[in-house]
Amino acid sequence: MTDATYPGMDGAAPAALPAELLAARASIDELDGDLIDLLSSRFALTRRIGQLKADLGLPASDPARQAVQIERLRALAVVADVNPDLAADLLNLIMAEVVRQHQQVRRPGLTG
């Protein structure tokens, strides 16, 4: 989507926007790509863990570890001046996907 399609832009072309705004948006776009790359790397590791858990007969979910991880991430968020509730919500979403993937390892063909 270009800036010209944003509501309230009155059809202004991106070139009409200040260079600083365009540069900041470009940096955000790069960071968004980095976030996806990090998620991909994280999920590659957690898929391996899911396979190990399945091989060892361990449950797909580990609520005690999840609670520790959420509190750890909340503390990191406070130090980084990021809303700790947002950090916890994001980690909960990620962990839900990890558990779904771990369950899928146990039941191949399972979707959603």
Task: Note if the pTM is more than 0.85.
Answer: no
Query: Is 69's pLDDT higher than 80?
Result: yes
With bands split at pLDDT 50, 70 and 90, how would you rate the model's confidence at 104?
confident
Sequence-distant (≥ 6) Cβ neighbours of residue 86 within 8 angstroms: 77
Give the C-alpha separation, 91 to 73, whole Å: 8
∠ CA(58), CA(64), CA(65), 5° rounding?
Answer: 80
For the CA atoms of 54, 57, 63, 66, the dihedral, rounded to the nearest 10 degrees, stands at -40
User: Closest by alpha carbon to 110, among 79, 87, 99, 81?
Assistant: 99
- For residues 60 and 102, give the distance between their C-alpha atoms in angstroms, rounded to a whole number: 5
Looking at residue 48, what is its pLDDT? 95
What domains can be seen in the chain, in order of their start residue? Answer: 16-106 (1.20.59.10)
